[in-house]
Every structure is written in structure tokens, then in C-alpha cells.
């Protein structure tokens, strides 16, 4: 149904023909989204190869798009798609293959999941659009509502966390704030813990009160305080990191979940420091688990992303809010997260090893006052960590026997780690929370939060442990 190309159509044809790989006779195939007519593609390429003097005489074939009934369908039963269910013995295999063995988009038989770089999705006709509106045809419709590349990331994380559903977003803070706005009603009440990421605390203390939402803040070990808040308030949500930032405190997820569920309270655990390799909060009873995918999940310090996994009902509520607020992760960022997830188990295993060895080394060092790491017997929640974690991560905090600037001298003397505010990547990072996160606050306010001038947060990468230890020890010798 198309007209032959005329001289005025050259620019249009050039655009179309450049969309097809000249070096390949393979058909372009998007197995779960659309398929191009194979004879049309082959005919087009054959004519193009024969026409050595230009494109002006080549007739553009009709490239028939065949839509599937679902945009990207991912069975919720991993065994139905040839995948094994997640267990502690196959996490590395799951990290590599989950979400990608069936239902993903495929281009020219590509092994890796492609980056679907589009802002919108088209319909063949009005009938198909009406079918979509009535739920009889699958499509993302618009880039803010989904993307095939991002869907593969969601499916892989869903399987790793043993969750019913997953939503990826533009950052960890986007995931956290969208979750809070979606699940806590006006004039509601939440419970959170004292030790947490500063921006999370800032949102809870400055934004949520504008909607009449109040908060009870408790020590991670204060079980009676949590019970008291549950008894005195109609609590919508319990939200805590575990381990926490920066002191790596651990809450008893199983116990807290039972207490909260008796009162109808939703439990969301920020598992960024743990990852699904070391801890699976949903299996312990939590309703939701949140990640800053920027950290361990992506693992290369090159992308911002967040994720929320949990029950389908709760994630769908958050997804509805997410579609309104628009904190969308772009497809290239999703691809980088997907790339990182394939090596998650291997990286975390090395970081677990590096973190535990360094924590033990520093705990015995005369210039270190205290080490905060859940893998140490001296940690206040060591027993809880042993019960619910299979590894303790690559992040540790420690207090140098020094003042603010002498501690800064120690950090400046370290040659291997970068001074940077993140964690979980392949490179080792070091920071002084007083300076990197709380420099704009008064010493009195920092003290009220437990942020000490001599506190150092150290995020082990995947370098050889001997190099990390030697560098830290030589830096301590400088003070």
C-alpha cells in the first residue's frame, strides 16, 4: 500500500533504510513486542544490495508490524519459563539469567537484553487503542508507564527478592518518597528508626508533616518503643533500613513484622546495605523491600536507580503514584542496572569478605576507638544479623581516636579509596559523614543524631584485600 520512491522521498527512505543493519540478513525481531515481516525485510535488503548506485529507485516495502496480545509478558512462575526458584545455593545463576530467558525483547538474536530507547508506543489503529483502553491488548502506551528494558530489571529483582511484583524508578530516594506518598494517608502515622539516610529523614521530618503525617522515631533495638507506638497510634507504615546508615544497626525483621501485622501496619525494609544476596526481607515477613539500585545492585558507580519489591497490591498502589509523579528510570540506566545484576552475587561475596576482614583488623588497631559492623561479635545486633543475614556486606564504619581534622588527615592519607558519598560499587570509597553529609548542620544537631566528628564510613570494593588493608594501615601511620 506504499507508493514507489520519488526524488522527493529520498530523505524519508534514507531514514528508513538506515534503521536496518546493512551487514545482516537476519530479520529484526522483538519477540514479545512486535515482529517485522521476514520476507519484506529480506526483499528490502536484497534490493538494497543490488542497487549500488543509490537508493532513489528502491521501493520501500510495507513492513507489517504484528502486535502480540501482551507488551512484555513475564510469567510469575519461574519454573514455567525454564527457571529454577531462588534458593541460597543458586543466587549467582539467578542473578545472571532470571527475567531474561523468556519474555524479554530480542533484536536480531541478540544475547543481551536490548535498550528500548523510546518515549512512546504506537497503536496500529483505533480498534487496537480501544482494546488497550479496555484491557484486551497489552501496551505501555507512554514511556512514563513502562519500558521493556526496565521490565526485565523488575522481573530479575522480583525473582531475587521472592516478591510478587517490582517497580524500578529513577533513584533510591524516588522509590522511598513515592512509596511514602502512596501508602501513608493524610494525617497518618509512621514509625521509623533513629539511624537512617539523611535525605530520608529530611523528607519524613519536613515534607510529610505538611500532609498532617506524624512520626515516631525509635532506636532500632527499642522493641517496647515500637509496640508502644503501635498501641497508641493507627500506624500506616513501619519503615527502616536494615542494616542502617551509617552505624549498620539491624532490626529483627521477623519480630517487627509480626508485631506490625497484628495491628494492620505495613512493613517496608530498605535493604540497600544488605542486597538480596545477604538478606531477603520478604521471606522474613516484610511486605516491601526497597533498594537504592545505584549502590550494590548496579555496582559500578555509573548509574542512578531505585527499586521497590513486594506484594502485588502494595507495589501497584506505589506504581499508580509513580505514574503521576514521573520519577522514571530511563532505558539506558535500566540496562546498566541489568548489566550490574549479572555479577551481583560474585561482587557481594568479595565485598563481604573484604568488609569482615577489614572490620576485624581495625577492631584490633590501637588507633581505632570502635568499629561498627554487624559481622563482629561486638556489634549490638550481631545475633540478629547472624539469624537473618548470610553475609554482612562491604560497608563498615569506625571511629578514629582523633579529632575532626586529624580524622580528615587519615582519610586524605588513604591512596586506594576515592573520597566519595556512595557504596556498593567495584571501587572502594571512603567518607567522613560529618563533612560529606552534615557539614551544614551545627555540632549540637550532629551530636543529637549520633554523627561524631571522628566517624569514618568505609565501603569496600572488589579490590584485593591485602591492598585495601595495607593502604588503610599506612594511612593510620600518618596520624
Residues in the chain: 479
pLDDT tens-digit readout, 115-126: 999 999 999 999
Helices (H), 101-147: 126-133
**Three-class DSSP category at 355:** helix
- 428's grid cell: 572502594
Strand pairing category for 189-193 and 235-241 = parallel
Radius of gyration from C-alpha coordinates of the chain: 26
pLDDT tens-digit readout, 293-316: 999 999 999 999 999 999 999 999
146 pLDDT higher than 90? yes
- 349's grid cell: 561475596
Bridge partners, 215 (sequence order): 190
The strands making up 288-292's β-sheet, listed across from edge to edge, are 165-169, 306-310, 288-292, 266-270, 235-241, 189-193, 214-218
Taking the alpha carbons at both ends of the chain, their separation in whole angstroms is: 79
Helices (H), 123-236: 126-133, 148-160, 172-183, 198-206, 223-232
pLDDT tens-digit readout, 394-450: 999 999 999 999 999 999 999 999 999 999 999 999 999 999 888 888 888 888 888
pTM for the full model? 0.81
Number of H helices, E strands in the chain: 18, 15
Going from the C-alpha of 305 to that of each of 69, 104, 131, 340, 398, the distances in angstroms are 29, 20, 33, 12, 28
**Three-class DSSP category at 218:** strand
Helices (H), 22-171: 38-50, 91-97, 126-133, 148-160
Would you place residue 53 in the very low, low, confident or very high pLDDT band (cuts 50, 70, 90)? very low
pLDDT tens-digit readout, 342-375: 999 999 999 999 999 999 999 999 999 999 999 9
Q: How far apart are CA 342 and CA 401, in angstroms?
A: 40
Amino acid at each position: 500500500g506504499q507508493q514507489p520512491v520519488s526524488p522527493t522521498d529520498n530523505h524519508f527512505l534514507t531514514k528508513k533504510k538506515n534503521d536496518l543493519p546493512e551487514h545482516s540478513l537476519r530479520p529484526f525481531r522483538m519477540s514479545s513486542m512486535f515482529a517485522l515481516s521476514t520476507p519484506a525485510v529480506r526483499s528490502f535488503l536484497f534490493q538494497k544490495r543490488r542497487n549500488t548506485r543509490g537508493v532513489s529507485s528502491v521501493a520501500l516495502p510495507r513492513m507489517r508490524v504484528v502486535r502480540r496480545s501482551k507488551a512484555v509478558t513475564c510469567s510469575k512462575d519461574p519454573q514455567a519459563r525454564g527457571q529454577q526458584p531462588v534458593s541460597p545455593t543458586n543466587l549467582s545463576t539467578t542473578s545472571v539469567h532470571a527475567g531474561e530467558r523468556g519474555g524479554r525483547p530480542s533484536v536480531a538474536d541478540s544475547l543481551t537484553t536490548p535498550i528500548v530507547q523510546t518515549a512512546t508506543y504506537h497503536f496500529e489503529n483505533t480498534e487496537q487503542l480501544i482494546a488497550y483502553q479496555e484491557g484486551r491488548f497489552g501496551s505501555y502506551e507512554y514511556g512514563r508507564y513502562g519500558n521493556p528494558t526496565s521490565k526485565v530489571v523488575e522481573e530479575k529483582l522480583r525473582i531475587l527478592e521472592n516478591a510478587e511484583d517490582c517497580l524500578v524508578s529513577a533513584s533510591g530516594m524516588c522509590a522511598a518518597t513515592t512509596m511514602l506518598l502512596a501508602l501513608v494517608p493524610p494525617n497518618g502515622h509512621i514509625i521509623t528508626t533513629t539511624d537512617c539516610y539523611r535525605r530520608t529523614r529530611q523528607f519524613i521530618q519536613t515534607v510529610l508533616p505538611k500532609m498532617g503525617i506524624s512520626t515516631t522515631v525509635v532506636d532500632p533495638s527499642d522493641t517496647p518503643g515500637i509496640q508502644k507506638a503501635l498501641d497508641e497510634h493507627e500506624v500506616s507504615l513501619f519503615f527502616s533500613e536494615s542494616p542502617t546508615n551509617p552505624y549498620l544497626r539491624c532490626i529483627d525483621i521477623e519480630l517487627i513484622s509480626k508485631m506490625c501485622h497484628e495491628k494492620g501496619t505495613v512493613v517496608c525494609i530498605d535493604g540497600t546495605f544488605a542486597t538480596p544476596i545477604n538478606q531477603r526481607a520478604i521471606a522474613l515477613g516484610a511486605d516491601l523491600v526497597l533498594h537504592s539500585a545505584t549502590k550494590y545492585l548496579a555496582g559500578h558507580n555509573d548509574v542512578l536507580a531505585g527499586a521497590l519489591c513486594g506484594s502485588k497490591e502494595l507495589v501497584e498502589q506505589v506504581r499508580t503514584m509513580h505514574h503521576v509523579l514521573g520519577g522514571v528510570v530511563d532505558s539506558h540506566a535500566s540496562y546498566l542496572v541489568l548489566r550490574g545484576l549479572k555479577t551481583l552475587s560474585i561482587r557481594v561475596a568479595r565485598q563481604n569478605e573484604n568488609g569482615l576482614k577489614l572490620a576485624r583488623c581495625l577492631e584490633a588497631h590501637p588507633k581505632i576507638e570502635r568499629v561498627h559492623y554487624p559481622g563482629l561479635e561486638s556489634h549490638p545486633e550481631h545475633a540478629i544479623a547472624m539469624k537473618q543475614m548470610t553475609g554482612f556486606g562491604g560497608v563498615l564504619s569506625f571511629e578514629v581516636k582523633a579529632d575532626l581534622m586529624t580524622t580528615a588527615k587519615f582519610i586524605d592519607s588513604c591512596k586506594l579509596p576515592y573520597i566519595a558519598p556512595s557504596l556498593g560499587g567495584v571501587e572502594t570509597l571512603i567518607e567522613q559523614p560529618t563533612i560529606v553529609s552534615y557539614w551544614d548542620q551545627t555540632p549540637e544537631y550532629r551530636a543529637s543524631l549520633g554523627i561524631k566528628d571522628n566517624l569514618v564510613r568505609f565501603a569496600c570494593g572488589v579490590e584485593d584485600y591485602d591492598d585495601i588493608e595495607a593502604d588503610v594501615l599506612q594511612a593510620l601511620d600518618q596520624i
